[in-house]
A and B are shown apart, each in its own frame.
Chain A
Amino acid sequence: MRIVLHLAEQTVREAMRRRFLNVILLFSIVMIGASSMFSQWAPGAELKMMLDTGLGFIRFFGMLMAVFIGAMLIPTEVETKTAYVLLSKPVTRWHFLLGKFLGAFATVGINVLIMGGVFVLVMFLKRGTFEAVPNLYSNLAYAVVLLACEMLVLLSITVMVSTIASWIFTSVFAFFVYFAGHVSASLKHLATPEYYESPLARGMIKVLYVVLPHFEDFDVREPIIVGDPLEWSIVSGTIGLGLLYAGIMITLGWLFFSEREV
C-alpha cells in the first residue's frame, strides 16, 4: 500500500506541473466566475441559468482534465520507458496501475473541488440576484462531490483503455464513451420491438446498456433548483455506484496491462 500511495503522490506532482492543466483550470475559473452574467438573459430563471452554466462548466472542464490526464497516464510511461524502471523493482503491475490511477484521480478531484469552491463562492456573492431556495449550499456541495465521482468513472474508463491503446485513440474513445454515457438511458427505450424487431439487435443493445456508464445518475440539478434536500440514500448509492464501476474498469485495465509487453 505504501508503494501505491508513493506512486500516487508522484503522479499528482507530475500532473500539477503540466502546463495545459493549469491553463484549463484558470480558464474554467474565469468561465465559472462569469456564469452569473448569463442569468441576466433570462429574467425569472436566474438561479436555473447560473446553475446550468456553472455546473455545466465544471462538468465540461472536469471531463477535459479526466480524459487528457487519463489518456497520457500509462502510454507516456511506456513510451519514455520509465515504466521499465518501475516494474523492474518490486512494484507489481497492479500497484503501478492503481498508484497511477489514484494519483490521476487525486489531481482531477482536487481541480473539480477547486472549481466547485469557486462556483459556490460565486453563488454566495450573487445571492441577491436570484430568488433564494432552501438547501441551496448543501445541495451544491453534494452536486460537486457527485461531479467528482462522475470524473472518477470517466477517468477509470480512460485509464483502462490507455493500457492497450495510444493516447490519441484513448482520448477519442473516452469522449465517445462520455457522450454515449449521457444518452445510455435512451438505450433502454431502443431495446424494444417498436424500434428493433430482431432479438439479436435488442440483446446487443441491452448488453451495451449494462456495460456503458450512466452519467446522468450523477446529475442532481433538478432538486437544487426546486430546493428539495438531496437524500443521502441517493447520494451514497450514486457514489457507491461510481466506486464500483471505477473498480471494475481498473480491474479490466489490470487484466489488459498484465498481458502487455512493456
Chain B
Amino acid sequence: MRTHRIIGVLIVITGLVGASSLHERIRFQRMVRQYDPPAPIEKIMQFSPTAVTGVIAGAILGGFRGPAANLLWLKMESYWHSDRWHDCLPVMRTVTWLDPHFVEAWRILGWHVMYNMTVETTDIDRQDMYLEAGVAYLKEGIAWNPHIYDLYWELGWSYFDKMDDFENAAKWLRAATEFEHPEYIERLIAHAYEKLPDIDKALDWYDYCLKRYPRDGTAIGATLTIRERYLASWRLLEQGDFHGAEAAVKHHLAMEPDDHIGRRLLATIYERMGDMQNALDQWDLLRATYALDSGAGRKVRQLKAELGIEETVRERQERLKKEQLQRLYERHLELHGAERGLGAPHGGH
C-alpha cells in the first residue's frame, strides 16, 4: 500500500508539471491568435476603482469578463444619458481592457474623445491632447481587431473630418478598402488627396471611381473641377516652376477667393518654395475665413514656432480671455456638479 501511495504521489507531481507545460503551450497559441484579453486583473483594478463595482469585480473574478464588460457598457450608457461625459471615459477604457474585441467600445471611445471632449475645452493644447488620445485608442483597437472594417473607417474619417490631416486620412481609408466597404470610400480618398493637395493621386482615385461606375456624377464633376482649377498650377509645381505655379493658382483665386482648396494649394507652393512667411499668411487667412479647417490653425502654430514668431498682443489678449472663460466653466461644473451630487469631473483621461 505504501508503494501505491508513493507511486500515486509521483504520478500527481509529474502530472501537474506536465499539465503546467501543456498549459504554457496552449497559452502561447491563444496569445498569438489574440484569444485572451490584454490586461491582468490588478491593472484594471488600479486604473479605475469607481468603474469597477463589487458586482463587476465578482463577474470578472468568476471568469465572466464578457458579461462584466457588457455591464460596464450599460453603466457607461447611464452616465452618457446623464451628461456625465468625463465619467464615461474611464468606464469606456475599462471595457476595452476587459474585452478588446468589443469593437463598438473602441469606436465610441475614440469618437467621444475626439469629437466631444475637444469641445468641452477651449485650451488648444488640451484639445490636441484629446485628439492624440483618440487616435491612439483607435489604433489600439485596430491592433486588437485587424480584420474589422469599422475602426479603419473611424480613424480615417476622424483624420479627415476632425484633424484635417488628409495624408493620414487617405492612408487609413485606403486600409479600409481592403475589407467590404461602402462605395463612397474611394471618392473620399480622392477628396482627401485633393485637399492635401496631391492632385495626381486625387485624379488617379477619381479615375478609379469612374472606371468602376462610369456614371459616377461626383467623380465626373470633381475631375472636371480639378483639371480646370488646379492641374495647371500643380504641373508647374511638380516641374519646380514655383512662380509659374503661384501665378496660375492666384489667377484662379482672383476669380474665386473663397476656394479653400486653392488657398491650400497656394500655401503648399509657398512652403515648397521655402517662403514660410507667405505660407503662414495663407494658412492664417484660411483659419480666419474657413471655420471648418481646423488643420489651418495647427499649421499656423507650427509655422509660427518654426519662424520664432511670438504671439501678438491681440493674440495674447484672446488667449487670456479664453483661459478665463475656461476657468469660469470649470467653476460652474464644480458648483452645479456639487448641487446634483455628481462631484467634479474625473481627471482620468
Cα-based distance from A42 to B33 in the complex (angstroms): 26
Residues of chain B with a CB closer than 8 A to A228's CB: 33
Residues of chain A with a CB closer than 8 A to B22's CB: 237, 240-241, 244
Q: List 25 A-B contacts (CB under 8 A).
A: A41-B77, A42-B104, A52-B64, A55-B66, A59-B63, A60-B64, A179-B62, A181-B63, A182-B61, A182-B63, A183-B41, A209-B20, A210-B17, A216-B36, A221-B66, A222-B35, A234-B26, A234-B35, A240-B22, A245-B15, A248-B19, A251-B12, A252-B12, A258-B4, A258-B5
Min CB–CB distance A243 → chain B (angstroms): 10
Cα-based distance from A254 to B64 in the complex (angstroms): 32
Give me the 7 closest cross-chain CB pairs, A-B, nearest first.
A52-B66, A182-B63, A248-B15, A186-B40, A44-B104, A210-B20, A56-B67
Cα-based distance from A60 to B66 in the complex (angstroms): 13
Choose among B16, B23, B27, B77 the residue with the greatest number of A CB atoms under 10 Å from its CB. Answer: B23
Residues of chain A with a CB closer than 8 A to B62's CB: 60, 178-179, 182
Cα-based distance from A124 to B67 in the complex (angstroms): 21
Which of A38, A241, A251, A252 interacts with B70 by CB under 8 Å?
A: A38
A223 within 8 A of B: yes
Residues of chain A with a CB closer than 8 A to B1's CB: 258
Contact indicator A238/B26 (Cβ below 8 Å): yes
Which of B8, B12, B147 interacts with A226 by CB under 8 Å?
A: B147
Contact indicator B29/A234 (Cβ below 8 Å): yes
Contact indicator A219/B63 (Cβ below 8 Å): yes
Which of B5, B66, B148 interacts with A255 by CB under 8 Å?
A: B5
Interface size class, chain A:
35 or more
Min CB–CB distance B145 → chain A (angstroms): 7
Residues 16-49 of chain B, each 1 if its beta carbon lies under 8 Å from chain A, else 0: 1111101101110110011110001110000000
A247 within 8 A of B: yes
B85 within 8 A of A: no
Cα-based distance from A217 to B104 in the complex (angstroms): 25
A233 within 8 A of B: yes
Min CB–CB distance A32 → chain B (angstroms): 13
Cα-based distance from A185 to B43 in the complex (angstroms): 13
Contact indicator B11/A237 (Cβ below 8 Å): no
Q: Which residue of B lies closest to A254 (CB)?
A: B8
- Give the B interface residue count (CB, 8 A): 47
Residues 138-165 of chain A, each 1 if its beta carbon lies under 8 Å from chain B, else 0: 0000000000000000000000000000
Cα-based distance from A37 to B23 in the complex (angstroms): 36
Contact indicator B63/A48 (Cβ below 8 Å): no
B73 within 8 A of A: yes
Cα-based distance from A1 to B92 in the complex (angstroms): 55
A74 within 8 A of B: no
Contact indicator B26/A179 (Cβ below 8 Å): no
A53-B26 contact in complex given A182-B62, A244-B19, C-beta closer than 8 Å: no
A91 within 8 A of B: no
Contact indicator A216/B15 (Cβ below 8 Å): no
B74 within 8 A of A: yes
B102 within 8 A of A: yes
A237-B26 contact in complex given A42-B104, A45-B102, C-beta closer than 8 Å: yes
Contact indicator A49/B70 (Cβ below 8 Å): yes
Contact indicator A53/B67 (Cβ below 8 Å): yes
Cα-based distance from A221 to B98 in the complex (angstroms): 13
Contact indicator B61/A217 (Cβ below 8 Å): no
Cα-based distance from A237 to B11 in the complex (angstroms): 20
Cα-based distance from A141 to B60 in the complex (angstroms): 24
Contact indicator B5/A185 (Cβ below 8 Å): no
Residues of chain B with a CB closer than 8 A to A38's CB: 70
Which of A182, A183, A238, A248 interacts with B16 by CB under 8 Å?
A: A248
Which of A41, A223, A241 interacts with B19 by CB under 8 Å?
A: A241
Min CB–CB distance A148 → chain B (angstroms): 15
Choose among B25, B69, B70, B103 the residue with the greatest number of A CB atoms under 10 Å from its CB. Answer: B70
Residues of chain A with a CB closer than 8 A to B102's CB: 45, 48
Contact indicator A217/B20 (Cβ below 8 Å): no
